[in-house]
Structure 1
């Protein structure tokens, strides 16, 4: 058997199906296409064309946006080991169609529905994330992005896509102006795609916070994230029938030093809620400040409930139950020290 011998000859009629209009050389070989036939079909004026190295478009016209994305993934995906079927069968249905590759950057954000991301038809490059050890070069319209810690992909419109924070970081890496960066980061938070902390973590890992236009956008992102989290906290109190607290107050002992700021405080029950807005560098130091403040307040008999933006978004009812339980338990505790609550 030579390398031109098809592994399992099959008729080609089914290849006109939409999902099979972009195939690799190995996949075509598995369908019975010899090297000579492939060469004849992809010559100028032929019915097929080469889209990328070892990736072929099974019609002569330009590729659609979906075909460009699938072609990019096929180019970057790991080739199956010898003897492993390249087309999924019932036995191999669990195998991902594009192992070791996922869309990232602006193309991924467009698939997620970001209005601030350009349409797929206007993208000059499609970014594909692969593990750092892969020996693979950018080519044509495909731009290879390597990562030491590659996240598990999400599936969007049937394609593997990097999680939003990672896709954002890869998109921001290629942007040089502040306004597009600001729009993308703001939409990520305002649209509920992810929390600011996750975005800042990825930007930090990619060493992008040293760029002034990125740092400025992150400041706006954090402010936006706090505003949204506060809005969720207000709605939680109202919608779940919790008593009205004092909002955004500084606590202090009468005539004494400040004890710290809290986002909500129920003076009769001595219960405080604090939004945990840690992000980026210095997280340990920020947590240390949270812990010190919580310890000071709890020594005075004040119960402190920490809520994260993610928990407020994903499990509002559960967080409301946590606060309600703390309020109801107030009667079983020793009376708290009297503190003064001043508006922030």
Structure 2
């Protein structure tokens, strides 16, 4: 089948081969179909239907989830393709590559594409959230829910569709949800399934000004606890799998008869090396107090001769071997340093 041949030149029998196709008015016109022809074919009982303004489905049955996504992206953005027809071809035809610009799928539809089991399946969604540049004059209609943004996030390509990264998709989904258990499930799955780190989610929720909603705050507290637990598990695994000496875990340090020096996640007393896991996440009311307190604690410990290795959940997830090397190097270097001051180690 020649995709570049005008549609008007096809016989009615050949036109049936275009089922499961999504095209715009301009693309149909480029293939020789006039607006009058399109309107005639979209009449009740006709072979085509209009999904969105200027976007048509070239078969009479219900659109598939993929066809709805194509339709929303064609309506909201711009499309480039190398085959002349930016849509899903017939099952026995090769699919031409498609590139959409100025439109990014987000919200629950994006989470479904990312594989979230706690997100509704695409087939059940009444609308699809799509990000477009703020200056676009475009309205939400039918299944297309338009969200304007000054700068679109760099999309992830999933199945040929431009999809918002998980933290942004979560923020856009949570903005529309009042169901506290549903919000908690989505946020928890994001971290537990390894889609992203808790801090990245909280940053997006903070940017979207969602941290004033009580049910979101409660879910974030659970999320941060989940993120810390996973990061601690990775820290335990790093010590075990890389043959590091066993530290004492989750302890408070203090000078004999003196003030509390603060807690650390792992400590090697014979080497005076500590690991601190930074799971801080930004909040709307945050200032520099928490960071300044952390920095003062670290400087105090290092003045006492204790080496503090700072790590984050993301570093432990993405570069566990490298983090193990950093800790091993600090342990080996302890023999070349001046002896540290004696500190009391207490369980947290």
Task: Give the TM-score normalised by the residue count of structure 1.
Answer: 0.90
1:302-336 per-position Cα deviation (integer Å, ceiling 9, x unaligned) = 11111110110111111111111111111111111
Q: How does 1:95-106 map to 2 (within 5 A)?
A: 97-106=99-108
Indicate which of 329, 337, 343 corresponds to 2:341. 337
CA distance in 1, matches of 2:120, 2:182: 10
Q: Deviations over 1:251-284 (max 9, x none)?
A: 1111110111000001111110001112112263
Tell me what 2:63 maps to: 63
* Aligned counterparts, 1:1-150, within 5 A: 10=6, 16=17, 21-78=21-78, 86-88=80-82, 97-150=99-152
Instruction: Give the C-alpha shift of residue 285 in structure 1.
Output: 2.7
Question: 1:15, 1:21 within 8 Å by CA — same for their partners in 2?
Answer: no
Per the alignment, residue 326 of structure 2 pairs with 322
Which stretch has the larger CA shift, 118-127 or 27-36? 27-36
In 1, Cα distance between equivalents of 2:39 and 2:128: 26
1:216-257 deviations in Å (ceiling 9; x for gaps):
110111111111110110011101111000100001111110
Q: Displacement of 1:145 after TM fit?
A: 1.3
> Which whole-Å CA distance do the structure 2 matches of 1:128 and 1:222 have between them?
28
Correspondence for 1:289 among 280, 286, 293:
293
Residue aligning to 2:226 = 224
Counterpart of 1:178 (choices 175, 180, 202) is: 180
Q: Deviations over 1:120-169 (max 9, x none)?
A: 11111111111222211100011111223321000112211000000000
For 1:239, the equivalent position in structure 2 comes to 241
Alignment of 1:197-216 (within 5 A): 197-216=199-218
What per-residue deviation string (whole Å, max 9, x for no partner) do you get for residues 37-91 of structure 1? 2222222222111110000001011101111111111110037xxxxxx54369x
Q: In 2, are the aligned partners of 1:273 and 1:306 still within 8 Å (CA)?
A: yes
For residues 302-313 of structure 1, the aligned pairs below 5 Å read 302-313=306-317
- Aligned residue for 2:130, secondary structure, equals strand
Is residue 193 of structure 2 the alignment partner of residue 191 of structure 1?
yes
Q: Is the 8 A contact 2:98 2:160 kept in 1?
A: no
Partner SS for 2:44: coil
What 5-or-longer segments of structure 1 have no aligned partner?
1-7, 80-85
**Alpha-carbon distance between aligned partners in 2 of 1:249 and 1:15, rounded to the nearest angstrom:** 71
Secondary structure at the aligned position of 1:97 is classed as strand
Q: Give the distance between the partners of 2:187 and 2:277, measured in 1 at CA.
A: 20
Return closer, same or farther for 1:14/1:316 CA change in 2, 3 Å cut-off. Answer: farther
| Cα separation, 1, equivalents of 2:72 and 2:319 | 37
Contact 1:73 1:101 in 2 (8 A): yes
Match of 2:93 in 1: none
2:116 touches 2:189 (CA, 8 Å); kept in 1? yes
Distance 2:17 2:235 in 1: 53
Aligned residues: 326
The TM-score with structure 2 as length reference comes to 0.89
Cα distance in 1, alignment partners of residues 242 and 204 from structure 2 = 34
- Tell me the distance in 1 between the aligned counterparts of 2:50 and 2:170: 31
- Output the CA distance in 2 between the equivalents of 1:15 and 1:133: 39
